[in-house]
A and B are shown apart, each in its own frame.
Chain A
Amino acid sequence: MEDLQITAKINSFITSDPWSPSIDSIIAYWHLFEKMGAEEFHLSASTQTGLKLIDDLPLDKFEWKNDIWWWKCSSPVYDIRHMSLKYIHRRFDQHDAESYMKPKKGNISTTAGPYKNFRGGFNQIVADHISWFAIGDKDEITRLLNRCTNIGAKSAAGFGQVKEWVVTENPESAELCMKRPVPLEFADQNSLAYSSVLEWAFRPPFRMPENRTICAMP
């Protein structure tokens, strides 16, 4: 395991909070993708029941107490150079429905209900790179990340395209990788500075209830 600085060279990305995207979840995504195979991974990824504890990432673990541990990696670090509001649309294809849909009695509401048209706004953050500090296996992390083409939200629509991943050794990583959400009790015991307190996941998968607790946010 080496002290690492992981950098994604980008132009912009979408995120809803300053602690995302987290590097342990990006690595976990590709680790599971390879372990399960593309088909099984895609089928189970969106289901709550398919969530399992991941304990074999190429990252070092920080063991605290009992079953509470997390990966030694920091929250993302970046400079916001600009922000803009981007919209994504989805609409019911009325023209195609006339040709390719079986006749149906009654109207289809596109202003409410399951077929509602959608115009969603997202804050796009412009930054030339995002960095994370971590302790892990450099070669394996580099190999996994090179499969990752986009980071952040709405990646299928082209947001958060990664131009290049750069993984380098950085001796300061051991200290910096504590700048991440950690359980509040741990933060208080160790006099760690934090900006807010939220219910958060301290390790991936983030939707798994066992991974969530009240956390001190850097």
Chain B
Amino acid sequence: MDARLFGIIKTKSPLSHISEAISTNSYLAQDPILQDDGTIEEVFCYSGNALRGQMRDCCSRFMLKYMVRKLGLDSFHLMFSGGKIGGDQVVDIQAAKILRQNIPVIGILGGGIGNQIIAGKIKFQCIYPICKEAIPVLPRELYEKAMLRTYVNMTYEKSFTRMDDAKSDLNSDYITEKHEKPNEPGEKKKNVSDQMRMTSELVVAGVELYSVIDLVGVTEIEIGALLSGFYDFVVAPYIGGQSNKGHGYVDLNYAFISNSKLDANFISIRDGKLNLSNEALGYVSKYTAILDRSKTEFITDESIIDKSKIEKVMSNFWGA
């Protein structure tokens, strides 16, 4: 089936997602957006690739925690980073099919296996703030809300300091060697800096970002695999960088539409609590049923004629 998840990610703390750093200053990633009058406005853009990478990690962690298993290097790289291309010039459609059936996360997000790229079925669209300048890339339903907000007020710069504790007099009793070379007699005292100051451009807390995730030709089990990632995401519901400073804490709410049927509260995270609609829970239980089954047996269909191959492929995957 084809489906779309769409909704709002609301920042509950400042959000960092940098494009470039100049000296100790870092700047937000922005996309040029063509306005109706032909001018270009630069607006913050949270990359679809960033959300994709985070959801790939979350889905993989959920699966491995659920199955209480660990992976070898190649399989780990496939699950968490999308795998690699190379090795023997062999195309093995059956091996790819076995992996997709047994590991639905690979089915939906794809990856590089051996000399093949298995295409994913999901597109994480770029995420933009709901504001006047982003209207050309927002859906019509949000125009009215966007007209009331301007991007100009949505970002600010915040500075942080980092002390060199080795140079603090308070800590001198706890360090065995001094980093600084003592001054030579008669030498002028050096002016040594004992702290640095960094400045980050951030999106302010309270901004609503519009996000779309398109699913093409997915199965119900694969939707469940995607949703399972939110169980891991909610453990630390942060997006972007500098979460160690508390940046990027979010609430979110996604609606789901498939075959013209809308589920407005398909998935939501509010104050660190996850809520799934009955339909969403149904997909997740179909997925966990597959994970339960694959603890004791390999999943297969009639198209895989060589049954011994299934064991070989899955043993390679799990590194058994």
Interface residues of A (CB under 8 A from B): 11-12, 33, 37-39, 41-50, 81-82, 84, 86-93, 96-97, 99-102, 104, 108, 114-115, 124, 126-128, 147, 149-150, 154-159, 161, 163
Contacts and interface: CB of A to CB of B under 8 A. Distances in A.
A21 to B, nearest CB: 15
Contacts of A87: 19
Looking at B38, B91, B127, the one whose CB has the most chain A CB atoms below 10 A away is B91
A108 B77 CA distance: 11
B98 to A, nearest CB: 11
Interface stretch (B28-36, B181-189, B274-282, B304-312): B28-36
A108 B82 contact: no
A46 B96 CA distance: 11
B52 A157 contact: yes
Contacts of B61: 96, 99-100
Given A46-B118, A149-B216, A126 B71 contact: no
Contact of B216 (A38, A101, A163): A38
Contact of B70 (A37, A89, A101, A158): A101
Interface in B37-72: 38, 40, 47-49, 52-53, 57, 60-61, 64, 70-72
Contact of B31 (A12, A33, A45, A48): A12
Interface residues of B, number: 54
B217 interface: yes
B49 A158 contact: yes
Interface of B: 2, 19, 31-34, 38, 40, 47-49, 52-53, 57, 60-61, 64, 70-73, 76-77, 80-82, 84, 86, 91, 93, 96-97, 100, 110, 116-127, 136-137, 212, 214, 216-218, 319
A153 to B, nearest CB: 12
A147 B218 CA distance: 13
B interface, by DSSP: helix, strand, loop or mixed? mixed
21 contacts: A12-B31, A37-B217, A41-B217, A42-B121, A42-B217, A46-B119, A81-B34, A82-B34, A92-B80, A92-B81, A96-B80, A97-B76, A101-B71, A102-B73, A108-B73, A115-B81, A115-B84, A155-B123, A156-B123, A158-B49, A161-B212
A115 B77 contact: yes
Contact of A49 (B86, B91, B123): B91
Nearest to A33: B217
A100 B119 contact: no
4 shortest interchain CB distances as A-B pairs: A158-B48, A38-B217, A157-B49, A46-B117
A12 B136 CA distance: 11
Nearest to A100: B64
A161 B216 CA distance: 14
A100 to B, nearest CB: 5
Looking at A39, A44, A90, the one whose CB has the most chain B CB atoms below 10 A away is A39
Contacts of A84: 31-32
A81 B70 contact: no
Nearest to A84: B32
Contact of A149 (B71, B119, B123, B127): B123
A100 B40 CA distance: 45
Contacts of B70: 100-102
B48 A157 contact: yes
